[in-house]
Structure 1
Amino acid sequence: MPHHRRLPPPKAHWALLATLLFAVTVLLGLTALVGGRFAADGTHTTEGGAAVPAAVRDGGPIIDPRGAEPVTSRLRPKTVALTFDDGPDPEWTPRILDVLARHGIHATFFVTGGQVTRHPGLTADIVHRGHELGNHTATHTDLGAAGDVRAQIELRATDLAIAGAAGTGTSLVRPPYSSTADAVDDAGWRAASRLGGEGRLIVLSELDSRDWQRPGVDAISAAITPRTDDGAVVLLHDAGGDRSETLAALDRVIPELKAKGWRFDTVSGAAGLSGTTAGVDGLTRFGGWLLIAAVQTGEALSTALGWLLVAASVLALLRTVLVLVTTAIHVRRGRTAPSRPPVREPVTVIVPAYNEAAGIEATIRSILASDHHPTWVIVVDDGSTDGTADVVERLALRRVTLIRQRNAGKPAALNTGLAAARTELVVMVDGDTVLEPGTVGAVIQPFADPSVGAVSGNAKVANRGGLLGRWQHIEYVIGFNLDRRMYDVGECMPTVPGAVGAFRRSAVLALGGVPEDTLAEDTDLTMALERDGWRVVYEQEARAWTEAPATLGQLWKQRYRWCYGTLQAIWKHRGAVVAKGAAGRLGRRGIPYLLLFQVALPVLGPFVDVAALFGVLTGDWKTALLYWSVFLLLQLVPGVIAFRLDRESLRPLLFLPLQQFVYRQLMYLVVIQSVMTALAGARLPWHKLDRLGQSAPPRSLVDAE
């Protein structure tokens, strides 16, 4: 990633992200509300019928509740109105239409809004073939149990979908789960009264095929054949399951009844009703088109997010297996590695310091308390304004050199320290870090292998008392004890942390020193060493206790810089993808892993969370809980192993479930901010954190002086 002039980080992407999330939320909401799947007709709870007028209970199947008193209608004698519920269905509706066309008759199709939005062309075909449409709610909701608002949404959404698909409107409604007039209960009548207030007609049935039970062709044929010459509204289905028996029954009954002088017509035609169908204006039809497009887009998005969730689960599983296998290999190698003569060379510890007055003394004293001798300390004060250099001067300790310079940034301070060092092995330590006595000696032992150019130490969170500290503690333990072992085995270590890392001075100077053109100089330097042919390894016993951000704001600043700097380093070293040797291993193992698990998946995180939330809100909470449990398990198992390897108490892992809320969202928002900043070509400032001097080691250190 080329060096850019400093531009302010972009802000518009937050509005874009909020807009996208809002759009996704609306689309998923419409899909759940209008395009929701439903079960086929069946039994449902009924109430008594004391409030149902006798005119309705004893009347015909067509109820007009629009006036002061309800009016019912029957069909003309020897007239059948075939009605089909729950469609349109892409498999069975066309076949039923073909049967009706073959026999030259028309019928009424009570469609659901959800099915209309999925198959608008098929809905239009029903009308074009001369059939009649009726409203069967959007999601097959029981109107008797639904509230006023839900009932209006169900019916009006279906009206709008029909208008968009077929350019027509209808006043006919068949309430789901309804049957004959004498079966109307009090809840059903309350719903019918509401429908009458909206100018709608209710169409029940007189002969129920019960084809949803698939009782056989004979049973369906008998059920839809009138016993008298009275006209009849026949209830059938063109969706909700296998309708081959329905087709066969129609082919049998229609010719038989025609031979006996029966005629077939739509509900309106058979009852002599007028005005049940009307055209719609252009604005209404356009609104219908928008609804159909929104629901179809929402369903496509829901499907995509579902596959994304599956893919994320698979990747999480593969990642867990990978880190566990490579951890086992790393542990076994450590036990069986051939012994080498211990490295006893003198070491210089370089401490770049900018406004580190709160903790610099503890850092220096912990270095001088090292078991490894001789150990020299170079503190490079990078233009501090809080008296950091004065604190170092007042200590007046042997083997400590203080260099003052104007503020030029951490990489420049490290280069100043490298130039002043006189030892081949150097350890770089942040000014907020406290080392254990054995850290310096442990971190240089891998240099017994002449192919090793750098060693990553084991950074640990010191201020882990609060919830934020515990979350970071969990992240550090798992990241260092599993991820770095994996990188070590794969010979593709992307970063030697600034908190504690050892280097061959000559190797770093051969590269021109510590790079100063990225914000992640540690990652940049590590990748540069590997591209130059050096091995970079991990040493667990080289523990360093660092002060983690104590507030969410400070954490945001730190991770924003880390992530943005990592993207810079990846771009800068993108040529490693096609390189050979150590550089190729970095380019084809380490960099893809970083991009996939630390960039790509976090960017998609907000949309996955929205999908999971809607899964809970729309009743699919069991699936959402299952995925959440799987993800938690895939973090918990490695977490237990990592904590055991680091000889840490498992108690902090009790806070791992809470890490999925707030902390995880903060981390993926950081990635999004970093990606957008990088794409905008902006350059960030260093984002110096406020130090509180909380890098206390686990036990007292003895002053070597």
Structure 2
Amino acid sequence: MVVKRAEPRSHWLLLLLGAFALAAMLLLDGFARGVVGEAPRTDPPPRPPAPAEVTSGGPVVSLDGDRPRSLRMPARTIALTFDDGPDPKWTPRLLDLLRRHNARATFFATGTHIAQHPELTRRILREGHEIGSHTYTHIDMATAPAWRNRLELDLTQRALAGTAGVHTRLLRMPYSSRPDGLTDPEWRAARQAGTAGYVVVLTDRDTEDWARPGAQKIVERSLAAERRGEGAIVMLHDSGGDRAPTVAAVEQVLRRLSPQGYRFTTVTEALRLPRAEASASLTDRMIGKTLVAAQRTGGWLTRWLQVAFVAVGVLCVLRLVVLLVCAHVHMRRVRRHRRVFPATMPPVSVVVPAYNEEAGIAATVRSLLDNDYPGPVEVVVVDDGSSDRTAEIVESLALPGVRLVRKPNGGKPSALNAGIAAARAEILVLVDGDTVFQRDTLRNLVFPLRDPEVGAVSGNAKVANRRGVLGRWQHIEYVIGFNLDRRMFDVFRCMPTIPGAIGAFRRRALVSVGGVQDDTLAEDTDLTMALGRAGWRVVYEENALAWTEAPASLRQLWRQRYRWCYGTVQAMWKHRDAVLERGRAGRYGRRSLTYLTVFQVILPLLAPAVDLFALYGVAFMDPTAPALMWLAFTTVQVAAGGYALWLDGERIGPLWTLPLQQIVYRQLLYLVVIQSLVTAMLGVRLRWQVIRRTGTFSDVPGTPSELPAR
């Protein structure tokens, strides 16, 4: 039993959710990248002092009572404190050093580093040290709004719960130092934290090792009161740059003071306070694990997208270079010798499949007959069960050499096969019902078939209705994308598609592949691939011009490209074995299918994420690199577009829309690829998408002077 599936709809919700999740993880990673390490403030806040009882007190401030309590370290007791970590390089070295000297310390870690290095967080606690909060992104709590401070502290607690299953009671505010330097804004931030249950830890001896003064200077600042035998909290850093001088200084301090009876321990143990860490609830642990997973995934995505951003840019530039080189080679090959047409050429049958083409069928038929082809020409119009006046219009023309074939609606492939069967000539030209030829198109299109190796010829399809931005975008796409590609495919002998608008075929070639098949929605691509696998050469003829009506609205454009892309994916899958075949078929398959897979499937799938990363780079990283890369890529595309337009004898005026095309039009085509691949993976049989014609050629008899200006 055949199960019919409807076209997918709900996956758009999944796509939006996926885009939202990606954006959220990138935003979280960007938020986490606010960690810059210790540094002097660029705009220090005003410095009215905090209350005297705090500024003249000890470095540990407890606010669990009615009045703040300042606590000092006992004599000959040192609390080594390390800010900004954990760091994968320097924190393990400090931990190894502390273990060798049987010393313990307090690590004031940022939430983002806790999430990035959960194994180091757990090691710190496992080896008897304690962890305090240093906010999530090393924010200046004195200048940040209260809600941001609460968020920073809460996120740090979540990260601790997710990595080690604990919360912490200790806080060291970034950019804080000694009690006597505490400003009023800092005091307000400290009071806010105190009401949330934190014990605020300042310092006795700020080594300022973040400024990299050298190991000896760090030692001197750490031992400022050595002779008096006082205890102290010493501020150091285990992240934020090269901490080799800090590691060396800590070892000197330990070696020098340990023999003198100093003990090195944690802040809470020295002051006999409750342990800094408390067990987190199961709910907090689960939320923390989610936060940690999201940040780690965001970091991984950022690194991966950086690579993808560069790789996509390099691939696109290389593709443009190859296209331009091949276009030049093709141009020289075609134009090297002046073309001399014979006095007579073989008979030609033009097959026009038509379904509801009343808007332009008359112009199409007239243009096919108004030609300078030096040989017999017949036009076979196949009315594929049209519900409009297509057949009546063709009959009313009453033109010699035109035959009308009526059949029930069966789709374009069946209409083409019916026309091929009814045609009399051995040279067959297949034309869409909305296409207008120039007078010299037929002879230019058929001329390459004088080579017996050539089984088919692709013409040069042009957009006729190119007024308006959408029309110009499609015109640029046809000239730069399709026709530059076809020149390259001709040079490498791997043409994947002869457009339905204009193509010439040997009857023998069509018979050898079983005619036009109907098991894909891209019958033109399927047929061209079959010819390539059968060993026939397919060439591109730039002088065989056909003017076609492009979709006039975004909805119509979507329907057309959806069918094209879905059908192309079907054809690629159908002919996938060509990659493994030998001889001409294998060379054709490896060249054609590899190119299509990379540039029409993989890159469009990656492009939305890469574009999102470019916006992320502008917002959270150095905006110069992505901006310059986009500008350089657009400049190269404009230059390539100018060359392509020149090759086709077109005006370069529409190029002004190219930068905007990269922002709007390109995104639409990416979504088409995603929609097509989802539809294909779900095993849905897509219906034929009928494009409504607006009648661009309804009043055009088909003479060159009346066609769009080039």
TM-score, normalised to structure 2, is 0.93
Shift of 1:488: 0.2
Task: Give yes or no for the alignment of 1:195 onto 2:193.
Answer: yes
The answer to whether structure 1 residue 278 and structure 2 residue 278 are counterparts is yes
CA contact (8 A) 2:362 2:394 kept: yes
Judged with a 3 Å threshold, the aligned counterparts in structure 2 of structure 1 residues 6 and 582 are, in CA distance, closer, same or farther, namely farther
CA distance in 1, matches of 2:271, 2:256: 22
1:659-693 Cα deviation digits (max 9, x unpaired): 12232222121112211222222212211110001
Other-structure match for 2:325: 325
Other-structure match for 1:693: 695
Residue 164 of structure 1 deviates from its aligned partner by 2.5
Could you say which residue in structure 2 is the equivalent of 1:176? 174
Counterpart CA distance in 2 for 1:563 and 1:153 is 46
- Whether the 8 Å contact between 1:458 and 1:480 is mirrored in structure 2 is no
- The count of corresponding residues between Structure 1 and Structure 2 is 699
Which piece of structure 1 moves more, 237-246 or 383-392?
Answer: 237-246
Structure 1 Cα separation of the partners of residues 617 and 118 of structure 2: 26
Deviation at 1:199, TM superposition (A): 1.9
Contact 2:104–2:128 (Cα < 8 Å) also in 1: yes
- Matched with 2:492 is 490
Q: Per the alignment, in what secondary structure is the counterpart of residue 656 of structure 1?
A: helix
Give the C-alpha shift of residue 321 in structure 1: 2.0
Task: Give the alignment's Cα RMSD to 1 decimal.
Answer: 2.3
**Contact kept in structure 2, 1:46 and 1:185, CA below 8 Å:** no
Instruction: Give, in angstroms, the shift of residue 57 of structure 1.
Output: 2.8
Partner of 1:358: 359
How far, CA to CA, are the matches of 1:251 and 1:513 in structure 2?
A: 83
Report whether the alignment pairs 1:645 with 2:647.
yes
* Cα separation, partners in 2 of 1:507 and 1:263, compared to 1, 3 Å: closer
Displacement after TM superposition at 1:612 (Å): 2.7
The code of the aligned residue for 2:258 comes to K
> C-alpha separation between the residues in 1 aligned to 2:68 and 2:631?
55
Using a 3 Å threshold, how does the CA distance of structure 1 residues 245 and 385 change in structure 2: closer, same or farther?
same
Partner of 1:298: 298
SS at match of 2:287: helix
Match of 1:408 in 2: 410
Instruction: Quote the Cα distance in structure 2 between the aligned partners of 1:617 and 1:257.
Output: 48
Distance across 2 between alignment mates of 1:247 and 1:581: 65
Comparing 676-685 and 268-277, the one that deviates more = 268-277
Spell out the pairing of 1:91-490 with structure 2 (5 A cutoff). 91-227=89-225, 228-274=228-274, 276-336=276-336, 342=342, 344-373=345-374, 374-490=376-492
Equivalent position amino acid for 2:175 in 1: Y
Gaps of 5+ in 2: none
Instruction: List aligned pairs for 1:447-596, cutoff 5 A.
Output: 447-596=449-598
- Amino acid of the structure 2 residue aligned with 1:325: V
Q: CA deviation at 1:167?
A: 2.7
1:10-38 residue CA offsets vs partner (Å, 9 max, x unmatched):
33433433333233233323333346542
Contact 1:429/1:500 (CA < 8 Å) preserved in 2? yes
Residues in 2 aligned to 1:601 and 1:610: alpha-carbon distance in whole angstroms: 14
Q: Which moves more between the two structures, 355-364 or 266-275?
A: 266-275
1:388 is displaced (CA, Å) by 0.9
Shift of 1:314: 2.1
- Describe the shift of the 1:464–1:190 C-alpha distance in structure 2 as closer, same or farther (beyond 3 A): farther
Aligned partners of 1:252 and 1:569: how far apart in 2?
A: 72
TM-superposed CA distance for 1:269, in Å, is 2.7
1:35–1:138: 8 Å Cα contact kept in structure 2?
no
Q: CA deviation at 1:316?
A: 1.1
Structure 1 residues 264 and 506, CA gap change in structure 2 (3 angstroms): closer
Question: C-alpha displacement at 1:116, in angstroms?
Answer: 0.9
Structure 2 CA distance for partners of 1:512 and 1:282, relative to 1, 3 Å: closer
Q: Partners in 2 of 1:341 and 1:437 — Cα distance? A: 14
Q: Which residue in 2 is equivalent to 1:673? A: 675
Query: Is the Cα–Cα contact under 8 Å of residues 491 and 582 in structure 1 kept in the other structure?
Result: no
Flag the 1:169–1:65 CA change in 2: closer, same or farther, 3 A. same
Indicate conservation of the 8 Å contact 1:527/1:573, yes or no. Answer: yes
Distance 2:384 2:474 in 1: 27
Once residues 475 and 68 of structure 1 are traced to their aligned partners in structure 2, the CA distance between those partners, rounded to angstroms, is 73
SS in 2 for 1:133: strand
Q: Give the Å deviation of 1:338.
A: 8.3
Q: Distance in 1 between matches of 2:470 and 2:560?
A: 14
Q: Distance in 2 between matches of 1:187 and 1:661?
A: 45
User: Are the aligned partners of 2:439 and 2:703 in contact in 1 as well (CA < 8 Å)?
Assistant: no
Unmatched segments (≥5 aa) in structure 1:
none
Greater shift after overlay, 274-283 or 126-135? 274-283
Return 589-598 or 164-173, whichever deviates more: 164-173
Whether 2:631 is the aligned partner of 1:629: answer: yes
The answer to whether the Cα contact below 8 Å between 1:35 and 1:115 also exists between their aligned partners in 2 is no
SS at match of 1:88: coil
| Residue 631 of structure 1: how far off its partner (Å) | 3.5
The 1:90/1:480 distance shift into structure 2, 3 A limit, reads closer
Q: Which amino acid aligns with 1:489?
A: V
CA distance in 1 between partners of 2:119 and 2:432 (Å): 66
1:76 offset after TM fit, Å? 2.2
- AA aligned to 2:300 is A
Is the partner of 1:334 in helix, strand or coil? helix
